Chain A
Amino acid sequence: MSNYIDKSLSIANPNPHNLGLTERLAILSGLLGLTIAGLHAGGVSFASTGMTFTIAFTLMGMSLLWYSYQHYATKKAGVKNDGVWFSSLASRGVIGWILGIVLTGFYVLLYWFPEVLGMGKAGAANTGIISLFDPLSNVFHGKPASQWFMYGTMYTFAILFFGIKFIYKYRQNRYQVIRTLSVMFFQLFLAYLIPEILSGLNGGFEGNWFDMDLKNQWPLDYDFAQQWHIDNMLSAGNIGWFFFIWSLLLVFVVSPYLTYKYGKRWYCSWVCGCGGLAETAGDPWRHLSDKSINAWKIERWMIHAVLLFSFVMTIAVVYSYLGKDPSKYSLTQTGFTLIIIGLLLALAASYAFLQKKNADGNKNKIYLASGSATLVAILLGMNWLFGSGNAFFLGGDAFKSSYGFYIGALFSGVVGVGFYPIMGSRVWCRFGCPMAAILGLQQKLFSKFRITTNGGQCISCGNCSTYCEMGIDVRSYAQKGQNIVRASCVGCGICSAVCPRGVLRLENGSEDIFSKTDEYKAIHISNEGVKIDLLR
């Protein structure tokens, strides 16, 4: 109905309240920085590469700070969603679509055609945009940049500066401020500086690189169990062993414990890099996630299918190389098969147990999940009995390359970030991330975390659902007075932040861990005096 929607091609939303002169100037100076970088990529340089890099990124960073200050800090603290659905950029207008296409294109080039971005092939010097990052790469590693160094630098830059913007925007909400400082910290130090410095100090681990991001964990880090990765780790001495053991601890001890205590938010919206980018740079598009029940159905099938795929892929990969070189690893194929079968059956059993114990335990879910775990176990066992050295009769390489292409690159990269302006900021986290799937199962079945609804205060306005980046229809629970326990909830806390009536609170409690959404909670506070049984 609004005749106010701006679908024009203007750079900025013409709503004067949303963008004043100073904000436009700030945006322009940021675009100037982008242009300088673009000109360099096109071969036009005014200064040395190092100087151009410094000028371009300083301009972009400063303009973001200036914009954020003008746009948020000069106004009273409060919910800042005025005009969101009128903005071409934020509500799938022309600008939104253009940005979506540009981002998607960038990711396609990054993954499959880095030479178009200027990646020097076979020792040739970098050109284009990648060469802009050579001076910085030289500082860290004493060698020119790779496309991944460029990407990591841009990624970190985005989380830091859009993080500051986010903090300005939500400055009245300390949960948001602290959470954002946390993702900024983890990205800057754990994902970027420490690995870059460590690999720089160790001569770049030339030819035997391994992942030194302390927070990255399997199955999000799907390369972890690959032969080259394990080999590189174990051949890197103490530091390699440290990362190897830490990675196992993280997956099997630290992560389950923290998820039990705080829900999956400890990772997804406090630590994770994908989550970090979604929460900061992706924040303007969080409301674009689909809230329909159909989207939820697709989500459940898709994310668990990816989880299964990542399990199978990892098992196949490990199994294959254990066979190839029996002298090298103390673990044999037989031993590995037994361990995995045991693990899978234990998982299936505990899933069934927890699902049953939970208030809304569902038989079909139990059959489906336990069934697929058992099926994988049976396949593995048959394979060991009758198969060759390959797992699942196919071999690790087939699984690895298709997983890497479809999930690792296409889904998490191209779709995951490229589609921010079209499908919202958490497409990957919601539909594809196997890590989110595992943590989600645990959150749903065995975690203290829930979002509490405050009695009967909900007015069904819909702000919570609208601004849920994971597409959860928060209102459908809140208006019933029911607590919210959803596998997909990353605990970003925005529903609580935008609620105009103080209805939602993220909480941890152990007292009612298996009945967090029980009927006694669901009984409406207003039903005093009408607490009688339903007729059927």
Chain B
Amino acid sequence: MHIAIIGNGISGITTARWIRKLSDHKITVISSETEHFFSRTAMMYIYMGHMRYKETKPYEDYFWDKNRIDLVKDHVDNINFDGKTLSMRIGADIKYDKLVLALGSATNKFGWPGQDLNRVAGLYSYSDVENMERHTPGLKRAVIVGGGLIGIEMAEMFRSRDIPVTMLVRESSYWNNVLPAEESHMISRHIKGHHIDLRLSEELESIEDDGNGNACAVKMKNSGERMKCEYVGLTAGVHPNVQWLKETMLNVEKGIVVDKHLETNIKDVYAIGDCAQLSEPRPGRKNIEAIWYAGRMMGETAAYNICGKSVDYDPGIWFNSAKFLDIEYQVYGDVPGTLHDYLSTLYWEHPEGDKAIRINYHTDNNKVAGFNLMGIRFRHEVCEKWIRDGTSLQEVLENLNLANFDPEFYKTYETLIRKSFSEQSGISYQVKSKRILDRVTAFLTS
């Protein structure tokens, strides 16, 4: 059987790797972006000089031959679903028995005047970071439109080269549609502390042409201010990269609609990662989750289904992470930007304002629901077990040390946190567990 995978990002590559673990099928991975798989999340570090492209490749180049995964650097122009054939831009047609669509995302553009000028781009594919690099010499100011995770990455990239950055963020505080208010304020402060000109409650009106097809300034919608700049970063989110499939027999809404086995409406055609839209997402989850971890889990699940083991896609308990300039962020479970009415919350922030812990719990039965960590590392497995088991808030507070994952000798704040949480919730506690790996191992295997 020949399995063709379009897209060599984390989803497509995970599928390929797992198909190889599970079977001897012929595997072909097609991408026009780069010859080899690289870590998309590490693109920023190439521009910042922390790594070269070479270092962002998670597998050495010999890996693909050794595992008999054929790589094709070409672009798929059309898919003939009836004839199970891909027509390629450069090479000959490719016939497949099963097809995996791991097409990724494309940058959102909202019809702004000037959005297609030179020196205007998002940050999603490898060519975007090349584009940034190409236009960096002589860059006096960059304007970034949109506040999410990519926006702050782009700001950090430009700041690493001492290029002044203005960020236009529609919300009244950074990423407050996802982060609770306190965390959102912390990051807003931190952004300003890095000398980034953060404009909250501000939107893009238009981008000006310098007469040669290059962006030279932006106009802001609310203040009406015009700001000169030589680069405009569009980071107001992404959408599934499926425009080119909309006129086909494939069922495409916002993304490619898939069932719980990640199969599309067409037999033997699967869609995974950013481009997939789940027809029945799990309760509390979105139907499109354009994040690294979801892509990886989907990739593995698709491989099982392709190899004849029927497995439902189950992303488990929500988790995610990011780094906002110097502040690491981890989230486990249910921590929405605006608190659901069945939840209560406990929040502790370090006096210096760069570390915080939030625990959400069910108001009626005190069972923990989620953790938000800023500048403090928590153990994924411990948090997940607490949430899955419906552990009581009191028990979590008593064993809080089990979750701490900060490096050795770091100051621990558990005592302060417990005190603060106990005052907020009225729950009394006794300290039970210390931060010792043996206890963690025992807890996790119990």
Contact = CB atoms under 8 A, between A and B. Distances in A.
The answer to whether A binds B is yes
Nearest to B52: A85
Contact of A497 (B300, B407, B441): B407
A452 B20 CA distance: 27
A350 interface: no
Nearest to A524: B300
Dominant secondary structure of chain B at its interface with chain A: mixed
13 contacts: A1-B53, A2-B46, A2-B133, A17-B162, A293-B60, A460-B58, A463-B51, A500-B328, A502-B405, A509-B438, A526-B297, A535-B307, A536-B22
Question: Interface residues of A toward B: which range?
Answer: 35 or more
Interface string A162-188: 000000000011110010000000000
Contacts of A175: 407-410
A532 B42 contact: no
Contact of B51 (A15, A85, A293, A501): A85
A119 B300 CA distance: 67
B271 to A, nearest CB: 18
B379 A526 contact: no
Given A17-B162, A457-B330, A459-B292, A76 B194 contact: yes
Contact of A83 (B59, B160, B377): B160
Given A76-B325, A175-B409, 13 more contacts: A2-B47, A15-B161, A16-B162, A76-B193, A459-B41, A466-B50, A466-B51, A479-B58, A505-B377, A506-B407, A509-B436, A511-B438, A527-B297
Given A500-B328, A509-B438, A526 B315 contact: yes
Contacts of B296: 456, 526
Given A525-B381, A535-B22, A17 B42 contact: no
B411 interface: yes
Contacts of A381: none
Contact of B60 (A292, A457, A497): A292
Contact of B316 (A4, A457, A512, A529): A529
Contacts of A460: 10, 39, 41-42, 58
Contact of A455 (B380, B410, B437): B380
A519 to B, nearest CB: 13
Contacts of A85: 49-52
A511 B319 contact: no
Question: Interface residues of B toward A: which range?
Answer: 35 or more
B380 A456 contact: yes
A81 B49 contact: yes
B214 interface: no
B421 interface: no
B65 to A, nearest CB: 13
Contacts of B263: none
A534 B410 contact: no
A226 to B, nearest CB: 39
A530 B311 contact: yes
Interface string A514-530: 00000010001111111
B408 A506 contact: yes
A454 B307 contact: no
A455 B39 contact: no
Contacts of A493: 407-408
A501 B330 contact: yes
A1 B133 contact: yes
B57 to A, nearest CB: 8
B60 A528 contact: no
Contacts of A525: 316, 380-381, 384
